């Protein structure tokens, strides 16, 4: 078993487990047991160590349960994935690209996740692509497949290889994009075996990585090393969610953007939080997002400024700042 798989296997799956190893957090964690019943925790040890060092910090606030999750407000499927899904595990919203969901599993449960209601109700890795392949074959304008999830890098290298092999038989598919949070959560996932799979398909596909990261505190030395392994050979971009009291300031985005640019990663998207059931406490106002964006553009050149996006379930086009 690879190091990253061991770390996944040893991740914390309950508050009781966390309290056993971090008894000094018990008073705080015992208040969150009702939240855990609705939205389970899943936290790798290296992240739990960071949480333990700063229980009110930006890492903790993204991954530890919060009482705000029990609010009845918000939508189950806030961006309309379900109604834009022509066949199982594909979302086709735009002409040239599809989202492909090979798994519903993630290396961590982000408390703000816009798919938190779907993800908490299923726990699967899928292996057969038959339906998706048939759909893709009959839609020649699709040239890009976006591997999403869950997190696609939770698949084993063999499973990823099989998906890539299947898609390589469709001539009009030119680009494969991976949306992933792995490098900032379990950076060991970017190992030589994984890089070998990418190399195998390098002449066939253009690979693009979109790294999910929300604040500079996530970018420790291990994470930076793992990101550099990707960005030295592949187009690597970032996406973030603007979260209340975590990164909702131009200073926070400025620091993150500078650190990413140093790693040859271009800031790409900053998502306004969706109207998610169980994540309303992360929401900021549109005015606040506009303010952060306009302050940021004073400090960062346009080519490195993330695009601020609003999305909702009732439209198929995004609203850009």
Q: Catalog residues that contact ligand SF4 under the rule CB under 6 A.
A: 106, 109-110, 113, 115, 119, 149-151, 181, 212
Measured between alpha carbons, how far is residue 252 from residues 24, 147, 242 in Å? 29, 28, 10
Nearer to ligand SF4, 104 or 300 (CB): 104
Residue recorded with tokens 């994935």: 81
Measured distance CA(259)–CA(250) in Å, rounded: 14
End-to-end CA distance of the chain: 45
**Residue of 109, 77, 104 lying closest to 88 (CA atoms):** 104
Q: How far is the CB of 179 from ligand SF4 (least distance, A)?
A: 8
Nearer to ligand SF4, 117 or 300 (CB): 117
Measured distance CA(160)–CA(162) in Å, rounded: 5
For residue 230, the tally of other CB atoms under 10 A from its CB is: 23
Q: How far is the CB of 116 from ligand SF4 (least distance, A)?
A: 7
Task: Find the helix packing angle between 157-168 and 130-137, rounded to 10°.
Answer: 30
Q: How far is the CB of 274 from ligand SF4 (least distance, A)?
A: 11
Q: How far is the CB of 265 from ligand SF4 (least distance, A)?
A: 17
Q: How far is the CB of 296 from ligand SF4 (least distance, A)?
A: 22
Nearer to ligand SF4, 212 or 293 (CB): 212
Measured distance CA(282)–CA(58) in Å, rounded: 12
Nearer to ligand SF4, 226 or 300 (CB): 226
Kind of pairing, strands 307-310 and 319-320? Answer: antiparallel
Which H or E run contains 267?
strand 266-271
Q: How far is the CB of 148 from ligand SF4 (least distance, A)?
A: 8
Phi, psi dihedrals of residue 236, rounded to the nearest 5°: -130, 125
Q: How far is the CB of 149 from ligand SF4 (least distance, A)?
A: 6
Nearer to ligand SF4, 44 or 149 (CB): 149
Which H or E run contains 60?
helix 58-63
Nearer to ligand SF4, 194 or 300 (CB): 194
Measured distance CA(218)–CA(58) in Å, rounded: 9
Nearer to ligand SF4, 38 or 174 (CB): 38
């Amino acid at each position: 078993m690879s190091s990253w798989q061991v770390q996944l296997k040893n991740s914390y799956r309950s508050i009781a487990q966390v309290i056993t190893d971090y008894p000094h957090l018990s008073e705080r964690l015992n208040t969150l047991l009702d939240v855990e019943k609705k939205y389970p925790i899943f936290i790798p040890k290296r992240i739990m160590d960071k949480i333990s060092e700063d229980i009110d910090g930006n890492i903790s606030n993204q991954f530890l349960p919060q009482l705000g999750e029990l609010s009845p407000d918000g939508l189950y499927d806030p961006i309309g994935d379900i109604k834009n899904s022509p066949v199982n595990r594909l979302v086709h919203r735009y002409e040239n690209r599809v989202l492909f969901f090979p798994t519903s599993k993630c290396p961590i449960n982000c408390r703000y996740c816009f798919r938190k209601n779907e993800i908490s109700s299923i726990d699967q890795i899928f292996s057969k692509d038959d339906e998706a392949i048939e759909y893709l074959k009959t839609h020649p304008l699709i040239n890009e497949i976006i591997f999403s999830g869950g997190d696609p890098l939770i698949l084993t290298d063999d499973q990823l290889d099989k998906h890539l092999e299947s898609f390589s038989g469709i001539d009009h598919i030119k680009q494969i994009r991976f949306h992933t949070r792995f490098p900032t959560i379990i950076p060991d996932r970017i190992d030589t075996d994984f890089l070998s799979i990418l190399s195998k398909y390098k002449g066939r596909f253009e690979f693009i990585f979109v790294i999910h990261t929300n604040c500079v505190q996530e970018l420790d030395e291990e994470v930076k090393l793992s990101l550099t392994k990707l960005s030295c050979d592949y187009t690597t971009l970032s996406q973030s969610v603007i979260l209340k009291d975590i990164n909702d300031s131009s200073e926070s985005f400025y620091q993150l953007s500078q650190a990413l640019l140093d790693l040859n990663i271009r800031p790409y998207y900053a998502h306004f939080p969706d109207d998610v059931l169980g994540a309303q406490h992360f929401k900021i106002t549109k005015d606040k997002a506009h303010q952060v964006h306009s302050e940021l553009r004073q400090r960062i050149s346009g080519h490195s400024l993330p695009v601020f996006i609003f999305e909702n379930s009732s439209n198929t086009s995004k609203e850009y700042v």
